[in-house]
Structure 1
């Protein structure tokens, strides 16, 4: 009895962690590092978490020049030896029974510690890790996050996020995830951010915030930028150029948009300088030369027409002058969009003589980067064709970042590692130093699509889409990151013996939106929404029926492709009827249908391997993958129906018409299954509402749920029967 009391009091005195060491026989593992470095502290916190899971306590101590402790040593010092370590890179090696992490900056050291934590989580010992040196593949690995105030898109799909996006707890979680996944740039986008950040000295009427409200905003931005810096992440604000707040427009009798008057120029110049001076952790400012710099759409003859030189001159006189007048340098994002010109852009960047490399962001395949890894079009001309003037000749003071916009899946989970690897392999070039990843019509904050449920263990939308962010971030940092890393994430998250079936299921399921966006050529945001099989607006790449946003059989037949190796329905049928052989380099619609069916089969087989005993939360992920599987089947049979229907229309052979109707009946079955699965845990959500008028022919895109479009799926049968 006396011995039991002794053990009890011993437990109380030394704490649970130390008691575990006594009973397990494991001594404390010492890690020596710069304890004043916030990024390294972050990495060590993740290492400590991984060690706790295996019953190993961690003792943290400051690193000194004479540190000789046996354990883990984290050293930030200039590169040495034959193997050159760049910024944000690291080396893992052993010396005198100690594990060394060597880096040239704090972010690299943080990534090295995160690497060790990950390997321990995968079951390895800190004593037996494979020595290696890792450097980032890209120096810019950025998330694009729209803000719901002064938002570019409007309506409930933006407004629903206002409360969460003012909550610093949300941003802390997002930044934590970004650091863990090796993202190093947070870009925050809205029309006019400045009036939410400062009370302009010479233009106090630019916002109507009281002193206390302005103090709240100041605390928000200051804390957000500081938290980013503490995780090795550079924060940027990006706006849409010639725009002022409603309060400014009223007070100074100017237009909110496209007003190039002297007072707007002076305000813009001064507010940029003031923002930089008041926020020392703000890394840079981005600018876009488009929407409110000319009447390029031809919809309002009252707006002045600005030439590319006019636009760049305005940028030079306002944003760049404001940047150069600040007390410290910041970086510049110069977007390449419809109204840009590479020659004029080069002139302004050259004349600016900014100390840091300017970031030139270019939309990859316009708003649908999740399509083909082939660069088929960009966003810098009315024709939508590629313009290599941005990188030919090779620039000396700026580099290009591809913007991989996601406007094609907002609800269903997605993750396809091989697509990202292929994308990086095909689009790495001397003039490219990174990628931006994000959406325009979607903010990854409030998960407003999921019904309230006990299995909803995530608080925010980006946490539900955890694999999307992990794949993009980790592979942009190191494209050789093996699938085993992502498989292990599933195993640890859900207690699985192996995560391989889940990653294989995801990889196959996630092909569907890529294949549709590659086949159905699109341009701006609302010209394609793959997970809904919608095209609310015309992309000028085929017939639009002006009936519904749902892609009908006729629209599928008439539309051209984005991926150059894909044959459209009309091209394929014409070549087949002309008895022309299909080139080996081309993919026919029927071959594409076969690939989609194979994807679906793989998904459903892998799900059966993990469904038994799956937790409710894992079951929710499985439902998303099953939805993709039936969407793949739907797309496959619709392609076959389209080929048969177009063949009938040209030959008048009714057997082809009947085949088309048979396939379309199968499509109805698939869509009913999609509606059944999604209806079990998703409800109707706003999509284009707030952006288009209620009189538009595509008003059925204002609110989205798969079951809403069953009548249009059935209507395809009537279209096939009409001929």
Structure 2
């Protein structure tokens, strides 16, 4: 009783002294009336979960720009960007206002405040300075393929599963991805691309074309449901059909003949019906190349169909296999709503920038060709077909994604769509062994959560790539605080392996040319004669050997430098994985799965590193007839075999044989089976040594030089100016001025230039002149534009390229312009 009296006495004293006791209420969130099932409602749901338990007496008001009436909303409105999907957050007194330029912007503002509260707690709501963000990349799309059933029956087809779409769309919205660019159909077994319309639309003119009518109605109903679910999360929907025929898995055999006239009449009808029967569809399109039809077929079918449908809808196509003059004829009929998709470095994700010159010049349709040159009646979207390189292992490096996203804005293009890791594969977990303790997810996108976040978040705001606390927190919520940073670092390092491997050694730009995660890549002779993907910035093994023998100059990265990068990436990945394994308290199946897959990927990095080193020394042995190099080659090849065996061992324990029909042409792939080919390496080496000895040639190879940690001249400032006219008619003059660190040690500098069209001309060096402490170069630029960079050599003969391809897009450019007549 005395304790109670004492407590009451103290409370009386505190009250006399003016100390009050109050418990702040939870924040109250106010959304506009009628916002149910809208992007605002979705964003508010996340915000409530994040701040609902915080004891802060504030009102959070979520509105769009036209509803900004309160003091806090008006404060936010002052800094709100005019761009769609922008937002601003301000606080005045007890009110916080989240103001979106539109509903999607308001949703993103909710995500932003929720994330800040998750990271900082109550202090995140004490907003002193208005927060404002707007999208850097306008078009931020994921590019899934509508794969047909594979080992599942029709009723269990992934496309029909609502739980698939709910989780997928939730993830995309939070990743700030604003488009689904759905291409189809795709048959995993045959690698064919059947026409999409027979699976969804019933034709009156050709009633026996397609699936059974009840199946088509079912599929169309699901498509409309998915589109509406996407709309409620701020995601627009586009569909592109890859062919115009009537054949495909599950389709009936029609009585009508597939004549050009019948196919055109059918296409006009079903395209019109798709637009009419999918009122939420935002964009519709077609592939020309490999579709079996020319441009005029689509011009004479899609354009009338859109006109007959009676509503405005955007139209898009791919430049693959198309002709620009025909594309222009289509685009002129759709001003401001015609888009073209261009392949971003073919069908692989190696360098995080659009490669210019070198091999790309001859790959034509695999890059942008002359589509930037005027006239232009379209907006450009890049199709980053990452499923060529990334087919199996998890991936997520914010820095690389940010660089690729920013480069997608080249010369006024509006963004990119990215193929996910399951684009050409089943959407469910089809690789794990059925008895694997690491089996934890149902849908592939659940494992690849980071993939979607790094692509979407760094497209909306590239600076997010440098905010490690955001990414670490994502890992913390899944795996625990004690291992979050280690797993994030392991993922970052591991995610550099495949891009660097493909940059250093590429069998070609197509999905069907190269699967870097799966194949050995050929014997050591093939590697020695092979090429990097970006020959402007990386040397081949043969070029490296010739460089050593001739004693010439190079500013490009040698394959040995690329090998050293890969070795470090593999080592760092394993180090961080082991640190995480030692620290983890309760390893989950997801934790075990991730660390196992990253370890396997690290061994792939080791394989590429050793094979590149062996290829360089093998090329040098061939160039010099120095058979004493046999031993280091043999050592490297044996190390490559050991690395592959480590990869295969994990693969056998972790995965069952799985499908890869696009490149590996099997439904039973294993690394063990592929690894049987590695025995050819030592046989090729033995045969080569015997041939050199039999020839009677002898030689002494120069010392092997590894350009790791070696610095050529460093550019500290560079200014460019475009003036006119140039020395040739209809040109302008580009003047470049570069200043270097330690200018007295700079010996030679060249301005390297290339015509802007990807399929026109290659890099040409022109000497720059020294004017005081600055080097100056000039070049004529015609209306097609120009790319340029700087190549410099020190007095010690060591070279460098600026910009550095390891840090940024390795060129600057003058964009094409419309010439006056």
Q: Is the 8 A contact 1:160 1:446 kept in 2?
A: no
> What do the CA deviations read for 1:183-207 (whole angstroms, capped 9, x no partner)?
1111222132222222123332223
**Counterpart contact for 2:604–2:644, Cα < 8 Å:** yes
> Is 1:487 the equivalent of 2:472?
yes
Q: Secondary structure at the match of 2:454?
A: helix
Aligned to 2:565: 595
Q: Give the secondary-structure state (helix, strand or coil) at the position aligned to 1:100.
A: strand
After superposition, the Cα gap between the structure-2 partners of 1:386 and 1:147, relative to the gap in structure 1 and judged at 3 Å, is closer
Moved more, 100-109 or 374-383: 374-383
Identify, as 1 or 2, the structure richer in helix: 1
Q: Take 1:326 and 1:561, find their aligned partners in 2: how far apart are those partners?
A: 49
Which shows bigger deviation, 325-334 or 109-118? 325-334
* 1:141–1:183 Cα contact (<8 Å) kept: yes
Q: Partner of 1:293: helix, strand, or coil? A: coil
Partner of 1:410: 391
Once the two structures are TM-superposed, the CA of residue 132 in structure 1 deviates from its matched residue by 1.4
Q: What are the superposed Cα offsets for residues 387-407 of structure 1, whole Å, 9 maximum, x if unpaired?
A: 542112373542333434321
Residue 710 and residue 429 in structure 1: after superposition, are their counterparts in 2 closer, same or farther (change >3 A)? closer
Offset at 1:519? Answer: 2.0
Q: Does 1:459 align with 2:457?
A: no
User: Which residue among 348, 360, 365 is the counterpart of 2:330?
Assistant: 348
Indicate yes or no: 2:605 matched with 1:632: yes
Q: Give the C-alpha shift of residue 165 in structure 1.
A: 2.3
Q: TM-score, normalised by structure 2?
A: 0.73
**Cα gap change, 1:321 to 1:468, in 2 (>3 Å):** same
Q: Given the alignment of the two structures, is residue 393 of structure 1 paired with residue 393 of structure 2, yes or no?
A: no
Residue number in structure 2 paired with 1:553:
524
- 1:100 has 2:94 as partner: no
Distance in 2 between residues matched to 1:318 and 1:365, nearest whole Å = 31
Quick one: which of 645, 667, 680 aligns to 2:640?
Answer: 667
Based on CA coordinates, which of the two structures has the bigger radius of gyration? 2
What is the aligned partner in structure 2 of residue 40 from structure 1?
A: 40
CA shift, 1:292, in A, is 2.9
Structure 1 counterpart of 2:85: 88
Please state whether the residue corresponding to 2:441 is helix, strand or coil: coil
For 2:217 and 2:212, the matched residues in 1 are separated by 9
Give 1:234 deviation, angstroms. 1.0
| Equivalent-residue separation in structure 1 for 2:645 and 2:180 (angstroms) | 40
Say which SS state the counterpart of residue 263 (structure 1) adopts.
helix
2:335 aligned with 1:365: no
Structure 1 equivalent of residue 677 of structure 2: 712
**Whole-angstrom distance in 2 between the partners of 1:448 and 1:144:** 20
Contact kept in structure 2, 1:148 and 1:162, CA below 8 Å: no
In the TM superposition, residue 326 of structure 1 has moved relative to its aligned partner by 0.7
> Which deviates the most, 608-617 or 428-437?
608-617
Asked if the contact 1:148/1:159 (under 8 Å) is kept, the reply is no
Report the CA distance shift for 1:507/1:578 in structure 2 as closer, same or farther (over 3 A): same
For 1:248 and 1:498, the matched residues in 2 are separated by 50
TM-score by length of 1: 0.82
TM superposition shift of 1:34: 2.3
Output one character per residue of 1:530-558: Cα deviation in whole Å (capped at 9) or x when no partner: 11135xxxxxxxxxxxxxxx432222112
Structure 2 residue aligned with 1:543 = none
Q: Is the 8 A contact 1:404 1:438 kept in 2?
A: yes
SS state at 2:60 partner:
strand
Quick one: which of 480, 483, 496 aligns to 1:511? 496
| 398-407 or 184-193, which deviates more | 398-407
Deviations 1:344-385 (A, max 9, x none): 2122201x135x532211111111134452324799986557
Partners of 1:342 and 1:445 lie apart in 2 by 35
- 2:547 is aligned to 575
1:526 positional shift: 1.7
CA gap 1:379/1:286 in 2 versus in 1, 3 angstroms:
farther
Q: 1:215/1:421 Cα in 2 relative to 1: closer, same or farther (>3 Å)?
A: closer
Tell me if structure 2 keeps the 8 A contact 1:648–1:656. Answer: yes
Contact 2:142 2:177 (C-alpha < 8 Å) held by counterparts: yes
CA distance in 1, matches of 2:269, 2:362: 31
Deviation at 1:285, TM superposition (A): 0.7
1:252 to partner: Cα distance:
4.7
The answer for the alignment partner of 2:757 in structure 1 is none
Q: Which residue of 1 aligns with 2:594?
A: 621
Structure 1 residue matching 2:446: 3-state secondary structure: helix
Distance 1:359 1:570 in 2: 42
How far is 1:265 from its partner?
1.0
More off after superposition, 449-458 vs 231-240: 449-458
Partner residue, 1:289: 288
Is 1:179 the equivalent of 2:173? Answer: yes
Aligned-residue offset at 1:270: 1.3
Equivalent-residue separation in structure 1 for 2:344 and 2:100 (angstroms)? 33
Please tell me whether residue 74 in structure 1 is matched to residue 62 in structure 2.
yes
- Please give the alpha-carbon distance, in whole angstroms, between the structure 1 residues aligned to 2:61 and 2:622: 73
Q: Match of 2:126, SS?
A: coil
The answer (yes or no) to whether the contact 1:444–1:462 under 8 Å persists in 2 is no
2:513 is aligned to: 527
| Contact 1:85/1:134, CA 8 A, preserved across alignment | no
- Is the Cα contact below 8 Å between 2:343 and 2:366 reproduced in 1? no
Instruction: Tell me how far apart the structure 2 counterparts of residues 275 and 380 of structure 1 sit (CA, whole Å).
Output: 39
Secondary structure of 1:27's counterpart equals coil
SS in 1 for 2:309: coil
CA contact (8 A) 1:363 1:369 kept: no
Are 1:51 and 2:51 an aligned pair? yes
Residue 229 of structure 2 corresponds to 227
Deviation at 1:330, TM superposition (A): 1.2
SS at match of 1:486: helix
The corresponding residue for 1:145 is 144
Distance change >3 Å, CA 47–CA 551, structure 1 → 2: farther
In the aligned structure 1, how far is the partner of 2:366 from the partner of 2:675?
A: 36
Root-mean-square deviation over aligned CA pairs: 2.8
> In the superposition, relative to structure 1, how do residues 161 and 520 fare at CA in structure 2: closer, same or farther (>3 Å)?
farther
Give the C-alpha shift of residue 161 in structure 1: 11
Asked if the contact 1:269–1:318 (Cα under 8 Å) also holds between the matched residues in 2, the reply is yes
Distance verdict in 2 for CA 1:148–1:161, change over 3 Å: farther
User: What secondary structure is seen at the aligned counterpart in 1 of 2:481?
Assistant: coil
Q: Is the 8 A contact 1:241 1:287 kept in 2?
A: yes
Contact 1:341 1:380 in 2 (8 A): no
Cα gap change, 1:179/1:394 in structure 2, threshold over 3 Å: closer, same or farther?
farther
Other structure's SS at 1:405 match: coil
CA distance in 1, matches of 2:81, 2:360: 37
The Cα of 1:25 is off from its aligned counterpart by: 4.7
Structure 1 residue 163, shift from structure 2 partner: 2.1
> What secondary structure is seen at the aligned counterpart in 2 of 1:204?
coil
Separation (CA, whole Å) in 1 of partners of 2:437 and 2:27: 38
Match of 2:257 among 254, 257, 280: 254
Deviation at 1:715, TM superposition (A): 2.6
Q: Which residue of 454, 457, 470 maps to 1:471?
A: 454
- CA 381–635 in structure 1, closer or farther in 2 if over 3 Å, else same: closer
* Residues 336 and 380 in structure 1, CA contact (< 8 A), matched pair in contact too: no
Closer, same or farther in 2 for the Cα pair 1:598/1:88, shift >3 Å? same
Mark the CA change 1:169 to 1:360 in structure 2 (over 3 Å): closer, same or farther. same
CA–CA distance in 2 between the matches of 1:288 and 1:672?
A: 41
Question: In the comparison of the two structures, how many residue pairs are matched?
Answer: 635
Unaligned runs of 5+ in 1: 1-22, 59-68, 295-310, 535-549, 693-697
**CA deviations over 1:40-92 (Å, ceiling 9, x no partner):** 1111122222235xx3499xxxxxxxxxx941111112494354342111001
Which residue of the partner structure matches residue 119 of structure 2? 122
The 8 Å contact of residues 600 and 632 in structure 1, kept in 2 or not, is answered as yes
Partner in structure 1 of residue 161 of structure 2: 167
1:325 and 2:308 correspond: yes
Task: State the match for 1:315 in structure 2.
Answer: 298
Structure 2: any 5+ residue segments left out of the alignment? 1-20, 69-76, 185-193, 689-821
